[in-house]
Structure 1
Amino acid sequence: MPRLADHDHRRRQITDAARRVVARGGLPAATFQSIAAEADLSVRLVQYYFGTKDDVLRATRQAVAADAALHIASAVSEAADADAADPREVIRAILLEVLPVDAARRDDSMVLNAFFFDEITGGASDAPSRDAAGAANYLETLVRDRIVLTGTDRRTAEIDARLIVAAASGLAQAMLADRELAPQAGELLDRLLDRMLTHR
């Protein structure tokens, strides 16, 4: 009988394949056939692990979101003492993790955007990106908490965090459309934070 670890590995193999399919062709490209071919598995095996296409897509979205959260947590923890570290630098590190500055993060951004646009356009998928708002709120909370450390009152910090995250999201969209922006990501973030966090 297969071990639980084997099942987890196989499920991850399938969701990784689905990520690549969606990153290349969007949600319409994600069929049992295309995902199975990408994973080099039989359609029947994919169906065994995920009963419906929406089950695969839901698990894929969750895997991408979970990986993003791990990357962000890692960026924060890399500061020797996150609470004592320069809040601006921690915010910068957090935002860099969510920008499509390399191939892997670009693919993940494409996948999350595919779910987001499917939801706002009333797409056919039953696996909508309902956690898109949750992800934005998570980022806003992280950024807000760092801004508060600069001595800014909580309400102002909340507004500034919302603006910073929204601006970073817009930059991420622009980077997906223009690959030439990736090398400038750090400079653009610095310009944004210099303006938003001035006199802090």
Structure 2
Amino acid sequence: MPRLVDHEVRRREITDAVRRVIIDGGLEAVTFQSVAAEAGMSVRLVQYYFGTKKDFLLATHRSVIEDAGARFLQRWNALGADATPRAAIRAVLIELLPLNEQRRGDIVVLGAFDWAAITGRGSTAQETFAPQALATVIAGQFERAGRADGFAPRLDAELVSLAIGGLAHGMLQGYLPAESAVELVDHLLDRMLGANTDDSTDPLRAS
């Protein structure tokens, strides 16, 4: 009997190969040939699953975001239904810092996409959508917090989203140690939501 092929598994093998190529050589190193070689399959097979380079690049970006989303959900569920807005936002932000190799690789890949968009050589923000989705999640938690003293949940969420990106890239560049990045996250949340009095989670031990 012919062997059954799980097409989703095969597509994931290809997008994982794209990630590794980007981490090793940047977005400019990504070609059908380099991805096929990394994935251990033929160029024709890669083309069968993704007709254009843009197709597999967007699929790769989406896979990184979906993986991060799954981690967020796992951490969110671990917090429990009674988690405060601050704890929920903190969990999301800490998950975006490169505190292990997996997250470091994800940030390198997303950073490559961001730079390509900035220079007009890649997908637009509308196609990749990640910053807007993050700001929406944070804004929802800010609204839960219910502060009324000039607080602007959506605008403040946009600021926090941009700030966490800067912290992550500072860590990648080596001038911001992990402990300092986490301290700055807590300081930012103090400024937004008031001083924290009960933080029982040590983010540096997160997997």
Q: TM over 0.5, yes or no?
A: yes
TM-score class, shorter: 0.7 to 0.9
**Alpha-carbon offset, residue 180 of structure 1:** 5.5
Give 1:42's aligned residue: 42
Contact 1:61 1:129 in 2 (8 A): no
Pick from 179, 190, 194: which aligns with 2:190?
194
Is 1:109 the counterpart of 2:107 in the alignment? yes
Q: Which runs of 5+ in 1 are unaligned?
A: none
- After superposition, residues 15-164 of structure 1 pair within 5 angstroms as 15-81=15-81, 84-123=82-121, 125=122, 127-132=123-128, 134-153=129-148, 156-164=152-160
| RMSD, aligned CA | 2.3
Contact 1:115 1:128 in 2 (8 A): no
Q: Which runs of 5+ in 2 are unaligned?
A: 197-207
Identify which range, 70-79 or 24-33, moves more after superposition: 70-79
Match for 1:121: what amino acid? T
Give 1:169's aligned residue: 165
Identity rate, percent: 45
**Alpha-carbon offset, residue 15 of structure 1:** 0.6
Match for 1:53: what amino acid? K
**Alpha-carbon offset, residue 174 of structure 1:** 0.9
Spell out, residue by residue over 1:40-83, the C-alpha distance to the aligned partner (whole angstroms, 9 max, x if none).
222222222222222221211111122122222222222110xx
**Large movers: runs of 4+ above 4 Å:** none
Spell out, residue by residue over 1:84-106, the C-alpha distance to the aligned partner (whole angstroms, 9 max, x if none).
31211111101111222211111
